[in-house]
Every structure is written in C-alpha cells, then in structure tokens.
Amino acid sequence: MDLVSSQGLRIDGRRPNELRKIRCKLGVFSQPEGSAYLEQGNTKVLAAVYGPHQTKGSRSKAIHDAAIVNCQYSMATFSTNERKRRPRGDLKSTEMTLHLKQAMQASIKTDLYPYSQIDIYLEVLQADGGNYCACVNAATLALIDAGIPLKEYVIACSASLGNGDVPLIDVSHLEETMGGSNLTVAVLPLSGQIAVLEMSQKFHIDHLPVVLNEALNGCRRIYEILDEYVKTHLNEIGTIAGWAKSDF
C-alpha cells in the first residue's frame, strides 16, 4: 500500500513534509527539579529531571570534570494497543536509554557539574510512532524547566520514504510498520551538529541525503514550535512572579 496517495496526502491526511500536531506543557510535576509533558500526535511522553545531585551508589562512578547523565526510558503498560507487561531494562529500553543518554549529553553543559549526576526519567504514556523523538524533545523541555544549562536545545525527528522516493517526516506508527526503513536523527538545531543518527534498515545511498535532509528540516521546525512554547511559558510564569514582561 502506498504511504502517499496520488493526491499527495499521507494516510492520516498530512502532507509528506508536515509534522504531527505538537502540544506540550512544562512543569507538570512539583517533586522533580524539572518536568514536561509532550504530545506529538498520539505519541505522548512524560519527562522528569532530577539533579544535578551527588552521584548515587559507588563514588567510583563519579567523574571529576563533568556530571553523569543518567537516563531511564520506560513504556507504560497501557501505552500500546495490546496491554503487555514491559519489564524495565529489556533490550529495547536499554538501547533507547543509551541513545537518549547520548543525545542529552550532547546538549547539557555537563562540565559545570563535576562529581554530580543528572537523572532524566522518561515514560511513554501512549506510543504511536517516533517514541524516541518525543522522548528527546520532552527531555529537552524538562531540562529547561529544571534550569540546567544547555548548549542549545537537542531535538529529534524521524523520517522515512514513501512510494519509493518521497521523504516523509515525523513518521507515525502505521507508517513505521507499513513502510520501509526509518531514520531517526537527534540534532542541535542551531549549530546543526548531529548527536544521534540511527536507521532501522538500510537506505540506499541515493536516498540517504534526501531523507536526512528532510529529517533535519523537521528538527528545525520542532525546535521553532518548542522554543515558541518555552518563551510563552516563561512569559506566563514570569508574569506571575513579576520579573518577565516588566517594563523597564
């Protein structure tokens, strides 16, 4: 089945270069230092950040010139169609955790917090494709909420190919399963540095640049949306606290 109709629409009615609807909220919990809730279409993720704090467990883990970034990825039992028990630390989560860590480390100014640790917890409430991307984006928001210094946002976006040669961005679960290979990229959008790049299968060399380029465009677009939200959010909470929007 074609992922893009001859009228140029995807199955859910988007055009190939359109993102799903993004909604987010910062500071959804009070216990952690920072938290965020993010929806990308039907993919819904919660992120919570603790720290920086002293390294837990053995002291030997601590690094003398940087903070340890510790990520934990998990999926809620009710997050997919079939309700399954998902034990923590299964292979898929471990892989996700590692990739998340790599992306977050690229963004956090870890050198400001020697001998300490930053914990990022991610819980997928509903999974509908692009879980990793939503997690990265939610984690970025949570870090901002926590006030942890970042080099810049780290943003992730997925892309795939429809009908053999049409690049699609922000791939939904249905498109993931029906289509071919998926590419996921996490990037620092301002400097354009790539933190993580992953493909589910092989891409032909002719297609790779096109798909990657579309994914990067997607990241830039997500960045604009999140940044916009962060600014209004700060305006709001700032107005309440009385330091933003004040007339000088």
Partner 1 sequence: MLTSKTFLKKTKRGNILKIVREHYLRDDIGCGSRICKKCAIINENAILDDKLSSSISKAYVNPHYLIVDTNVVLHQIDVLEEDVLINVIILQTVLEEVKHRSTSIYKRLNDIINNPNRKFYVFVNEHHKDTYIEREPGETANNRNDRAIRVAAKWYDEHLFENQRNISLKKVIRIVLLTGDTDNKEKATQDGIFAASVEDYIYCLKDSKGIEDKLSKQEISYNEDSKEIFPCHLTPVQIHEGIKTGKLLHGSFQASKENFLEGQVNVEGYEKSILIQGYIELNRAVHGDIVALELLPEEQWSAPSEIVLQDDEVDNEEQIVESEIIKPKTVKEKTPTGKIVGIIRRKWRQYCGILQDNILQNSTRHIFVPAEKTIPKIRIETRQAATLIQQRIIVAIDSWSRYSRYPSGHFVRALGKIGDKETENEVLLLEHDVPHSRFSDKVLSYLPKLPWIISDEKVLNNINMFMNCLKQIAKRTDLRHINVCSVDPPGCTDIDDALHCNLLSNGNYEVGVHIADVSHFIKSGTALDEEAALRATTVYLLDKRIDMVPELLSSNLCSLKANEDRFAFSCIWEVTSHAEIVQINFCKSIIRSRAALTYEEAQLIIDDKKQTTVLAESLRNLNNLAKILKKKRIENGALVLASPEIRFYLDSETHDPIEVQAKQIRETNSMVEEFMLLANISVAEKIYEEFPEYAILRRHPCPPPSNFEPLIKAANYLGFEMDTSSNKNLARSLDAAQKKDNPYFNTILRILATRCMLQAVYFNSGMVTKDDFYHYGLAASIYTHFTSPIRRYADILVHRLLAACINADPTYPELLNKKKMNDICHNLNYRNRMAQYAGRASVALHTHMFFREKVQDEEGYILFVRKNALQILIPKYGLEGTLYLAPVKGGEQYVNFIYNEENHTQSYKEIVFHTFDPVIVQLSLDSSNIQHEKLIFKLVKPYIHNFSVPSVKQDTEKSQSNLNLSASEKRKEGDAFSFKSSSKKKKKMSKQ
In the complex, the smallest distance separating the C-beta of residue 206 from partner 1, rounded to whole angstroms, is 5
Compute the least distance from the CB of residue 153 to partner 1, in Å.
23
Please say whether the dihedral angle defined by the alpha carbons of residues 112, 113, 114 and 117, taken in this order, is positive or negative.
negative
In angstroms, what is the minimal distance from the CB of 204 to partner 1?
4
- Give me the 197-236 binding string for partner 1, x by CB under 8 A, dash otherwise: -----x-x-xx-----------------------------
Nearest partner of 15 among 243, 187, 217, judged by Cα: 217
Residue 77 within binding range of partner 1, rule CB under 8 A: no
Of these, 44, 75, 107, 128, which contacts partner 1 (CB under 8 A)?
Answer: 128
Retrieve residue 236's tokens. 């709001």
Count the alpha carbons within 13 Å of 182 in the hemisphere toward its beta carbon. Answer: 20
Q: Tell me the C-alpha distance between 108 and 139, whole Å.
A: 11
**What is the DSSP pairing of strand 182-188 with strand 155-162?**
antiparallel
Among 17, 18, 63, 194, binds partner 1 (CB under 8 A): 18
Q: Which residue(s) pair with 126 in the sheet?
A: 44
Give, as ranges, the residues between 37 and 56 that touch partner 1 (CB under 8 A): 41-42
Number of residues that bind partner 1 (CB under 8 A): 24
Q: Does 170 bind partner 1 (CB under 8 A)?
A: no
Q: Can residue 20 be called a binding residue for partner 1 (CB under 8 A)?
A: yes
Query: How many alpha carbons lie under 13 Å from residue 122 in its C-beta half-sphere?
Result: 34
